Amino acid sequence: MKNTPFLWDIFCQVVDNHGDLGVCWRLSQHLVALGHHVRLYVDDASALTWMAPHHQDHASLRVLPWPSDDALTSRHACSWQRPHCVIEAFGCELPNVYLHNLLAPELQGEESRAWIWTWINLEYLSAEDYPNRMHKLASPVLQGPAKGMTKWFFYPGFTTQTGGLLKKHWPSSRQPYEATHEPAAQALTWCAQASLRVFVFSYEPRALKDLLLQLSQLGRSVHLKISAGRSTVFTRSLLKSTDLLGLQANTQAPQVQIKKLSIEFLDPVDHAGFDALLQSSDLNFVRGEDSWVRAIWAEKPFVWQIYPQDDGIHFKKISAFLTRFEAPDTLKQAFMVWNEFEHARFPSLSEELLGEWAQWSLQVARELKDRTDLAIQLSEFLSLKQA
């Protein structure tokens, strides 16, 4: 696909352990792979030091601080290039100082008369029906410095009526710089004797206690990798505060051995390592939007933990996904228990059950693999608006 190169400004505010930033970073890379230029404005980009350690190595993708009152002033407006598209990701709002400078009269000279920009509100991913109805709908701006303009809703999704997903492979033959770096060896190194390899990237699910107990009693060698951050803190607290496993080991060690269960606590893993880890595991527990999609592309059994919301709307989101793709009953139970919608035992991880889950995961990935990439759909949408 041949694209006119555009300049995109993407705005992202970090919420809940960098999941939004992960999606925005991947989207930025996909747009660069299509030949575009991206400025990614982030209120806290510190996670990119481990998530994407080479994020400052490419001229076509710049990571910039969140605009403040002393930034983007008219004093240097003449050297600031106007974007063709501005994306508000996941409910964040453009800073007023940015909008004021974007719309400043002194920038409306002869050279900018033909300039057109598009304002997109990029929403969260859902398998519910409403994205099919609301995708690409216009939203008039009724107040503020941009009153009278129009935003456009853009919904990622699982159907052809939505904006699709960020695919596993780059949307063109041009690979961004991050793709050229090998994943960390730690992410791919599993115990040679392990007959079951499990990865956990979670919040604090109560069912993790039951999972640890079950894995220690399988009677076969199991290697369990625990992601850095909240998963590690919660797992260590479980091991320390209970006699769940009759543990006599040092729970602060990098690796804990309980019978035939080996628990390894990982350092932060970059995107390449994370994706490779999901693909090399036999069972993945993931959380949030970015890892949910990556787990689908890994084509391995997975259980997804959604970010909990007080109004319970996250139950509808989980149910819609499981229903849309006709998940096996045992997997539905695993999702419900892991997300604390049901207070029951986590399903027994037999080879038969894991085989059933693996077949379902493969079917989901195959159903979605031919859908158009989210970045391509955004690029095509912008091209129409620029025409």
> Which residues are known to be catalytic?
20, 289
Nearest residue to 135 via CA among 147, 124, 149: 124
Distance from the Cα of residue 82 to its chain's centroid: 28
| Calpha distance 196→360 (Å, rounded) | 18
Q: Which residue blocks in the chain are alpha helix, DSSP H?
A: 19-33, 48-51, 96-102, 130-134, 185-188, 207-216, 230-241, 271-280, 288-298, 313-324, 329-338, 351-368, 374-386
Task: Give me the sheet containing 196-200, strands edge to edge.
Answer: 255-258, 261-265, 222-226, 196-200, 283-287, 302-305
Q: Is 284 in a helix, a strand, or coil?
A: strand
Q: Give the contacts of 308 (CB within 8 A, at least 6 positions apart).
A: 203, 314, 339, 340
Q: Could you write out the three-class secondary structure of 39-55?
A: EEEECCCCCHHHHCCCC
Nearest residue to 300 via CA among 231, 349, 360, 350: 360
- State which amino acid sits at residue 177: Y
Q: Give the contacts of 76 (CB within 8 A, at least 6 positions apart).
A: none
Distances (CA, A) of 284 to 14, 80, 118, 274, 299: 24, 44, 38, 11, 10
Q: Which 8-state DSSP code applies to residue 224?
A: E
Nearest residue to 24 via CA among 378, 381, 365, 384: 378
Distance from the Cα of residue 365 to its chain's centroid: 16
User: Cα torsion for 164, 170, 176, 177, to the nearest 10°?
Assistant: 120
